[in-house]
Amino acid sequence: MAADGFRKEPPSVCVSSGSRDWWFSHLTPRFSGAHRTVLMSASLSRPQWIQVAVITAAAVALYVGFRMLPIGTNLNHMDFRVAEGNAIEFCDPANPQFIPVIAVRSPVSMTLTSDAPARAGQSARVTVRLATSSGKPLAPPDLRVEHTRRLHLLVVDPSLDDYQHLHPEPGARPGDWVFDFTPRFGGDYRVFADFVPVATGRGLYAGTDFKVEGPVHAVDPVRPTQETVELAGVRYHLRVDGGALRVDAPADLVFSLERVDGGDVDLQPVMDAYAHLVAFDSGRGGFAHLHPMDAGLAQPPDRRRPTMRFKVTIPAPGPYVVWAQVGLEGRDVFVPFWLNVVP
């Protein structure tokens, strides 16, 4: 399946210069002068016609074989188009940016249901359903595996102090995905889905709210900039290379960590990367899901002070929380930073 959602045709047969000469010497009639208008059929011998028939039959067989190959997904590129304007565009992972999921229309609808009302501090079994605008379900064959998972859910409460990165598993019905979720607080949690359709090969997103019963976490609406956080004997840092994070200007974020006692950091991969960053604006209008520029695992970062760089572009000014996710001593650790984007 090509990236535009249409089935690939079999590749044309390429020949070298020597074999090209053979092709023309055997299949092209040698005409001269007025005889160039004579039909090929009149000049081909029976062995040459047999060669033509064999080659033609082989080409037809190749074409039919390619057309019958299984492609996995039943969806194509047009299933992810939105006729109206103000729609989410397909996003290039090589050019990460903040995605305004709530303000624009996604070609994928997303609904959440739970077996019982979700309550703060209690585990809930939740089903998320994904479907195209025409109602076609998005099942496992329709989504590519990206960073070890087909579907990533980025879940955050109204205060932005409870962030969870979850990975639903396929449910019993195509289009259903099931996950367990333990919210810390009450309120309307915002759930963003991050996935890559097989039919397009590019990132796509959806979002919705999920109500949790219980007291809403109250915080000061004015958050000071916070670039250093210390948790459980580890000091985490996040800074903007160049000193300021400006609207619509591509920026490099530098993330590093170190043990307070000066020892080695036992950093382990999480979803095929040594760190992930997820940024939310204060109104939870969207997010940016970032991976290290040197995302490969072949070259581990320095053990004493692991340092990774991330690129991002932010379209609007204001405060943003940036959650870092790393693997330490066999568990995932989430660390929040607060940055201010200036005009």
Does the pLDDT at position 38 exceed 60?
A: no
Domains in the chain, start-ordered, CATH in brackets?
17-68 (no CATH), 77-212 (2.60.40.1930), 228-342 (2.60.40.10)
pLDDT at 53: 79
Does the pLDDT at position 23 exceed 70?
A: no
Q: Are 233 and 260 in contact (CB under 8 A)?
A: yes
Nearest CA to 240 out of 300, 320, 165, 297 is that of: 320
Q: How far apart are CA 74 and CA 184, in angstroms?
A: 39
pLDDT at 202: 87
pLDDT at 2: 38
* pLDDT over 70 percentage in the chain: 79
Sorting pLDDT into bands at 50, 70 and 90, what band is 210?
A: very high
pLDDT one-digit tens code per residue, 197-206: 999 888 899 9
0.85 exceeded by pTM? no
pLDDT at 72: 65
Mean pLDDT of the chain: 83
pLDDT at 125: 97
DSSP E strands, the chain: 108-114, 124-132, 152-156, 163-166, 169-170, 176-181, 187-195, 204-212, 228-231, 234-240, 245-246, 251-259, 267-268, 276-281, 287-290, 307-312, 318-328, 331-342
Q: DSSP assignment of 212-230, as one string?
A: EBSPBPP--SSPPPB-EEE
